[in-house]
Homo-oligomer: A and B are copies of this chain.
Amino acid sequence: MKIGFIGLGHMGAPMALNLIKAGHALTVFDLSAEAMQTLADAGATRAATPKAAATGAEWVVTMLPAAAHVRTVLSAEDGVLAGIAKGVTIIDSSTIDPASAKEFGALAAAHGNAFVDAPVSGGTGGAAAGTLTFMVGGSAALYESVKPVLAGMGKNIVHCGETGTGQVAKICNNLVLGVTMAGVAEAMALGEALGIDSKVLGGIMNTSTGRCWSSDTYNPFPGVIETAPSSRGYTGGFGTDLMLKDMGLATDAAKSVHQPAYMGALAQQLYQAMSSRGDGKLDFSAIIKLYRGEKG
């Protein structure tokens, strides 16, 4: 199928490459000439604008940093909506707030196009391996229709409900992730200070009620899980600044529906403290440094 793909960053580039491998014909756009070149080398056609990428496409996929970028890419004079054919579906895999997702859905509908929000989990590793999870917001029929496209980039394609609910699922999951990581960091550092061996503590936690992904797969204490970023200097995982963005989306979403978000708001400030001391590029599990007296 002919796919217009816009946004070739750390996530977008490997996703687009997988679509090519899956046999699709891609026309791509990104502000970075280098990123464009990589995709062109793999067989994609370069477009000069989002409009050009969307022109003639049977599907349009966007993978962008924030809602403001999606808005511009869709609505600008040389944007997607200026080029896309009526009836074509736009798949936005960016992580953005649910309200903006709904707004883009309405915008697309007014233009005669369908729109699904389909944020991902799985990180750059999952993007490269084609094993991402997609959380899809849109009607059941739309969900069925986008599955073949998403199957080229991921393994697990989940229908979350109407437009926006893909973002809701992503945000709520990452809220839990940000909170549990802070909690595990706090407890592992406390255990160390109280004199228990950290591998022993990790082992107990992981077979007991404290069990969680932040402990059994991604434990923030170095050496407990050999494959975790903590065991390689907190490099190469999910950056603190990205977690901070997601915690901001969660507390903003909570504000929008008048829900308190005590734990998330506090965890957000702790990641903020990491960012403000210059540790924003480290994996988010480096939050344990705040508890172990390691300076930024």
Chain A residues close to B by CB (< 8 Å): 98, 121, 133, 135, 156, 158-162, 164-165, 168-169, 171-177, 179-180, 182-184, 186-191, 193-197, 200-201, 203-205, 207-215, 218, 248, 250-251, 253-255, 257-270, 272-273, 275-277, 280, 290-291, 293, 295-296
Contact = CB atoms under 8 A, between A and B. Distances in A.
Contacts of A218: 209
A291 B259 contact: yes
The 5 closest A-B pairs by CB, nearest first: A179-B183, A212-B212, A176-B210, A173-B210, A193-B257
Nearest to A184: B176
A293 B277 contact: yes
Contact of A263 (B172, B253, B267, B293): B267
Contact of A269 (B158, B189, B265, B296): B265
Given A180-B180, A204-B173, A208-B121, A262 B269 contact: yes
Contacts of A135: 204
B272 A173 contact: no
A74 to B, nearest CB: 20
A71 to B, nearest CB: 15
Nearest to A267: B263
A251 to B, nearest CB: 8
B183 A263 contact: yes
A296 to B, nearest CB: 8
A164 B204 contact: no
B187 A176 contact: yes
A164 to B, nearest CB: 7
